[in-house]
Each structure stands twice: as C-alpha cells, then as structure tokens.
Structure 1
Amino acid sequence: MTAIASFAGRRILIGVCGGIAVYKLCEVVSQLVQAGAEVRVILTAGAERFIAPFSFSTLCRHPAYTDADFWSARHGRPLHIELGEWAEVMLIAPLTANTLAKLRYGQADNLLTNTVLATTAPLLLAPAMNTDMWLQPIVQENWQVLRSRPQTLGLEPGSGRLACDRVGSGRLPEPIAILAGLESLLWTQGQADLQGLKILVNAGGTREFLDPVRFIGNPSSGRMGVMLAIAAQHRGAQVQLIHAPLTNIEPGLLTSLDRQAVVSTEELAEAMIAATPIADWVLLAAAVGDVRPELRSHQKLSKAELPASLPLQLLPDIAAQLSQQRYPNQKLIGFAAQTGEILEPAIAKLQRKGLDAIIANAIDQPGQGFGSATNAAIALRPDGSSQPLGFRSKLSLAHAILDFVKNL
C-alpha cells in the first residue's frame, strides 16, 4: 500500500455518490485514517440508500455530512464553504452518471455539488456505473470535458464483472489506485505538467533460466518502476511500461497502464529498442541481469545433473545500447541500486553509459531495499552535481524524480 507518511496530517474530503461500489470507499477512508490523514465525508441522498452515514463517521472519527446538514441552521458559516476551504484535496467516488453531468455543467443542488464549486482543492474523480451507461456518448463526452479541467485527475474505471452481472468497463478503481491518485494530487496539485510527453519506463527483475524451474535473478519487485509509470500518467504523460516479472505489486495499480511483460534481459532489450524511437524520456528503473548460464536445459535437471560450476555468459548492456542510438532531444535516465558507497559507482556508471542523469539508491539501508514501500535516492548529473531526493514513499519519490528530469 501507499506509504503511511505520505498522508500524515493531510486534509482529505471525500464525496460519496449512490452506487453499490460505496463499500470500497470504506477501505479508502480506513487506510487514510490509519495513515494519519484528517478525513471528512459527504454523502449524497443516493449514497445514503446504499450505506449509513454512521459507517463513515465511525471510520473517519468525525460526523459524516448529508444534505440534512446542508439545510440545517446549526452551522455558523455555510457548511459547503467551510468544507471547501478546509480540504487540501477532494475525491468523488463512486462518481455516478448523474453527478458527473451536474459537475460538467456546474449545477449545485446538494451539499456535494455546492462544495465542489466552493473549493479550490484539486479534484480526484473515480467513476463507477453499468457498462452501457458508461459507454453512452453523452456520458463519455461529460467525462472527457470534466477530466480535462485544471486541477482534475480522472481515474478510468476498471473492467470485469459488475454488480448487474454485466462483464465490461465500469468498475470503480481499486482502493490502492484511488489512494495513489490522492497521493499524486497532493504532490502535483492537479497540474498535468507532463502532458504531450511520451515516457517509456522499464521495471522489474529479469530472470535467466538454467532449466524450467531454476534461474539467475534478483529480488527486485518492480515497485519503483511501476510508481514512475503511475506518477507520469497522473501528470498527463503518455506512458508505456515494459517490465520483467513483478512481485508483490497490487493488481489494482496496474490496470490503467499500457504495459508489456518480458522475462529475460534479451527480451527486455528487444522490447526497449523497439519502443524507444517515439519516447521523449526513457526511465531505466529495471534491475537487469548482467549474466546468464551459457547452457540452458529445456527439461528440469535432477540434482545429480546440476553442474559443479556454472559457466556464465555476459548479457547486453541495455542502457549503453540505448545511449548509442539515442534520438534527438531524448532524455535517458539510469538507475543504480548500490550497497555501501553509492555515489562513486553511480557516477562511473552514468559517465560510462552516456546517460543524461542517474538515480542512485542504497539498497542496504532500512526501508530502502528491494520490495519496500519507501525509498531514498540521490539524483546525479554528468557534471558530478547531485540532488538528494529524500526518504519518502516510492510514489512520492517517483514524482520527485520526474521533477528532477523535467528540470534537466
């Protein structure tokens, strides 16, 4: 899940609309509160038909608001003004076709829609509805207009079996994807500053097989590369993710990504070379193997058949290959996972491979190793200058890396 420190002390306002997917919002609120966020919840009249306000007030340790509160005289200032000014970021989910249409046209006939007009906070939209409703041309038109507005991030619904038994698009994004969207908005304030850029990211740890069940590999989970892809997508870039095997990555984080899966270093090299010509930025976050067994058996070797020594063969250097054939105005960013002294070997790698910059991190420090939810890094330029990027969640670190690359 998203690292806890990212939400500590942040003020998050959640608008809940009427739909069976409201149960997923309970998980979102629970995770935010456990992470130290201050959470307030507004329910529409439709949402109250699916879930009691008491459920959310229990989870967020604060009364949940309904239209009855909107029309009550017990508040000193108008409630929608107070809530709108209080919020640092606002989420509306599950966004229904009705509320989507109201937001597009600026209608304000309940507490939620009035609060949207009264806030300057960035807005995260997560729709959910029947597939045929979602695919209606007018709904799609409303969605495209609304998500293109400044300070607005729209999460595309997922696909699968819906509550109406229809199989198709319209599922509410998973809680982990909603949390990632909120974390991104807290960083970017809703600015789509990478819009128009094509960004290619690789991730994961490659595997070189000795036989069908044994391989030389590494413990990379691929989380840092996945977070780079998500952060870039949240900032408006067109993103392609090419990844070796991923481990312990929540499936809900991957559904919106354009991705291609590979296994070996050679497969990764082939895919990267094919995809690189159209990329403005290439972010090489994968943990790529350097060697493979010289011989590979297509059948499982018995213990008696295992060689006493294992001859190894060097594999192609993907970063160096891409650097040699780089395209005009293309930024090529490497990553160096190190133990012990990290700066010297990272600078040597940066210069040897002809990269525009390299992101170095120490995998032998607490909370910074493979598979962790957090990381810290130092960004290095070819002239030897550096920029510490700090210890934070991997999604926030991804945003810090993108800021650094943008300013190169």
Structure 2
Amino acid sequence: MTFMAVNHVLIGISGGIAAYKVCEVVSSLAKRGVEVRVILTRSAAEFVTPLTFATLSRQPAYTDADFWQPINGRPLHIELAEWADVFLLAPVTANTLAKLAYGMADNLLTNTVLASSCPILFAPAMNTTMWLQPTVQENWQKLLKDSRYTAIAPTDGILACDAVGTGRMAEPEIILEYLESFLFTQGKRDLQGKKILVNAGGTREFIDPVRFIGNPSTGKQGIAIAKAAIHRGATVTLITTSNSPLPMGEAPPSVRVVRTSAEMHQVMLEEFPFADITIAAAAVGDVRSKITSDRKLPKSELPLNLELEYIPDIVADLSKRKRPDQILVGFAAQTGTEQEVMVAAKDKLIRKGLDAIAANAVNSSQTGFGTDTNQATFINKDGKFLSTPLCSKLELAHRLLDFLL
C-alpha cells in the first residue's frame, strides 16, 4: 500500500471468534506507518485482549471501561469519532449488526459509530444459520442502503463451529485492500448500478498440450481494476487466465477463466453487450502456431521453423460492436523511451477506436510484468491525458476509474 501512511484508521471489534483475524490487519497497518486505534466490545475482549491490540497498534486499545475517561478533556467517543478517517467494524456480530441498523448506542463502540461522520467499512461474521435468519438479512440489507456503510460480505467455508456455509469473515488481505481503496476514495460508491467488464492475464497459444507461445503477464493489474470497481459498488465480470478470487462486494462478481486468445475472444463477445465500461487489461497474444497437436509431440517431431498466423484483435472487434453509451478502454504495454511509449499508445487508441488507453512501460523493474507497483499515462479520444505517479496497482486502478468517470 502506497498512500496510507498519513491516515487514521479506527477499528471496532465485536465479540466473535473472527476477532483473531483483526490482529493481522492492525499489525499490517501499523507496520506501514498508519495510525490505528482499536475499540473492543466487552465480549470481544473475551476473545482477544486489549493488550494484544495495544501492542500491535502502538496505541491504547479502548473498552467500555474507558467510556468515561476523556481524551484531551473531551468525551472519548467524540474524540475517537472525529479523529478517524475510516472506521472499520470487524467482525460485526448479529447483535452489533442489529444495533447499527437501528441506530442503537449502548456501548463505547456503537456510541462512537453514531458520533462519527467518516465512511464505515463493515465485515460481518457469524454462524451460517444465524446469518441466514430473515431478521439478520433485513438488518444487513438496511445497512447496505446507507451511503456511509460499505460491506465486506462474509464468505463460504468451514466455520469455527464446524458448520459449512456462508458466515466466514473476509480474510485480512481482503480487508486491507478495501481499506486501501477507502483511504483513496473516501468510501464513495460512484459505480453502483454500473456493470464493469475487465480482462486480465496473458493468453497461451498452444503448440501441443504442454508447449505454448505466451508472455509474462500475471494479470495483477487487471485483477486490481476489478477489485477497485467492486470496492466502488460496481457489478464486475472478470475474464482472466488465472483463477483469481475477488471480494464478494454488494453484488457478487463473475469470474470466467480462459487460457487462449480464442477463448478470451469468445467470452468477451458474450459479456460485452451487458457492460457499461469495458477495460481490456489482458496481454493477449499477437501470433499463434498454424498447426497444433492434441498430443505431446516428441522433441524429434517439433518443427524447427514454426509457421505462425496473426491472432484476431479482440479490442478492435469490440470497438466495431460498441454502442454510443459504452466506454471501451485498452492498455498499451510498451518498451522504450517515454516518448516511444506515448506514440505507440496514441496510435493504438486511434487505430482500435478506443475511448481511452493506459500507456505503461514494461521495461522497468517497478512497472513490468508481475510487479506490485505500476505507473501509467491515461489518454482519451479527446486528447485529455493524465500521468500517474509510481503507485500500487490498486491505486492505479482507482486513478484510471477516476479518469474515466
């Protein structure tokens, strides 16, 4: 994460076994220089002690016993509420979910929620049967309608009670990504109601079942774009060459895994008509072998002169089918000088009939394939452009979405 060091994150913990996962969240934030403060309910302190969170955050951890102990002469819940840039509630139990839905304030945590005005990120966790109760679902849906709240939906799996189903709190990595997005967007959900189609990863053009022509793309940037869109409330479809799980968000995303350019082309054509914004971040192959085998070829049978053919251009094909209300965005992964990268990107923008393009140099150890950071220049068809600083791929994704909106 590259833009969190000056921010204040307040974390409220309810009494569930998933409280142990929040230790990693607090530790990770503190190690990155983020100021973190923690509030525990009385039952939360039965699972993880306040001392643990105080040690991990390098700050005091507060409980109901501290309610009437002022900070700087001011009530504790007011001071904490005004201090926070983002309020993370994790885990949120059925009891706390009900209190939040109805504006109840009977402990330090819920009083601080009502006294705060910052965006709130909340991650429920409970037994599957409890989660599926109509009253719990009603409270869940009620909070989703509140613009201050953004949900990190529970996932499926084996729960602490040995039940199998929905109710697991999101993993720390997912929560940290949401926080990174929140601290950049301030919790805005400006893509609610929008359908975003993204492709990601490098295609493989097979010569036989074990040999292929490919490229080093890992799909990290495309996956980051899909995550950023989910964090902002979009309904997302990701077409990827790797099976990459996405956060559930408010609308469950669709992930379709492909291998070859032909498979990706077909699936993109199927999904494109439903998309408001399509971002083609995949590194699709340019050529493939004219002859392929359905069995592994012995070394002696491998052709030393491989006859190739061009692969149909997916983005150019989508451009021909684009409606006026759709936005189509491409990526230009180039090598060379900054000027050479820009010239190639502008050529692709015009030649392929795109609405915008992201030009990025891949001949750098910090912006090449497989890196966690990236830098790009965005250009639209009207000539507007924006260059980003070197940043995380999630931040770059948000900057691209801001450029398009």
Name the counterpart of 1:186: 183
Post-superposition Cα deviations, 1:238-278, rounded to whole Å, max 9, x if no partner, equal 111111236xx6x4758953211111001001001011111
Alignment map for 1:169-318 (pairs within 5 Å): 169-245=166-242, 251=245, 257-318=253-314
For residue 236 of structure 1, give the secondary structure of its aligned residue in structure 2: coil
Alignment TM-score, normalising by the size of structure 1: 0.95
For residue 201 of structure 1, give the secondary structure of its aligned residue in structure 2: strand
Name the counterpart of 2:381: 382
Letter in 2 for 1:348: D
RMSD: 1.6
CA distance in 2, matches of 1:113, 1:383: 49
Deviating more after overlay: 280-289 vs 229-238: 229-238
1:384–1:112 CA distance, 2 compared to 1 (3 A): same
Deviating more after overlay: 380-389 vs 351-360: 380-389
Contact between 2:152 and 2:248, CA under 8 Å: does it hold in 1? Answer: no
Alignment TM-score, normalising by the size of structure 2: 0.95
Contact between 1:84 and 1:120, CA under 8 Å: does it hold in 2? Answer: yes
Name the counterpart of 2:146: 149
1:265–1:49 CA distance, 2 compared to 1 (3 A): same
Post-superposition Cα deviations, 1:183-207, rounded to whole Å, max 9, x if no partner, equal 1111222221111211111111111
Contact between 1:199 and 1:238, CA under 8 Å: does it hold in 2? Answer: yes
Alignment map for 1:2-41 (pairs within 5 Å): 3=1, 5-41=2-38
Contact between 1:176 and 1:252, CA under 8 Å: does it hold in 2? Answer: no
Dislocated runs of 4+, deviation >4 Å: 251-256
Cα drift, residue 74 of structure 1? 7.5
Letter in 2 for 1:354: G
Name the counterpart of 2:327: 331
Alignment map for 1:39-58 (pairs within 5 Å): 39-58=36-55
Name the counterpart of 2:163: 166
1:343 aligned to 2:322? no
Contact between 1:222 and 1:286, CA under 8 Å: does it hold in 2? Answer: yes
CA distance in 2, matches of 1:302, 1:35: 52
Post-superposition Cα deviations, 1:102-135, rounded to whole Å, max 9, x if no partner, equal 0111111111101111111110001110011111
Alignment map for 1:37-116 (pairs within 5 Å): 37-72=34-69, 76-116=73-113
Cα drift, residue 219 of structure 1? 1.2
Post-superposition Cα deviations, 1:39-95, rounded to whole Å, max 9, x if no partner, equal 101111111111111111111111111111113368621111111111110100011
Letter in 2 for 1:58: T
Letter in 2 for 1:166: A
Unaligned runs of 5+ residues in structure 1 are none
Unaligned runs of 5+ residues in structure 2 are none
CA distance in 1, matches of 2:70, 2:280: 58
Letter in 1 for 2:132: L
How many matched pairs?
Answer: 400
CA distance in 1, matches of 2:278, 2:12: 37
CA distance in 2, matches of 1:239, 1:257: 5
For residue 45 of structure 1, give the secondary structure of its aligned residue in structure 2: coil
1:132 aligned to 2:116? no
Cα drift, residue 365 of structure 1? 2.1
For residue 6 of structure 1, give the secondary structure of its aligned residue in structure 2: coil
CA distance in 1, matches of 2:241, 2:87: 35
- Identity across aligned pairs (percent)? 56
CA distance in 2, matches of 1:87, 1:345: 44
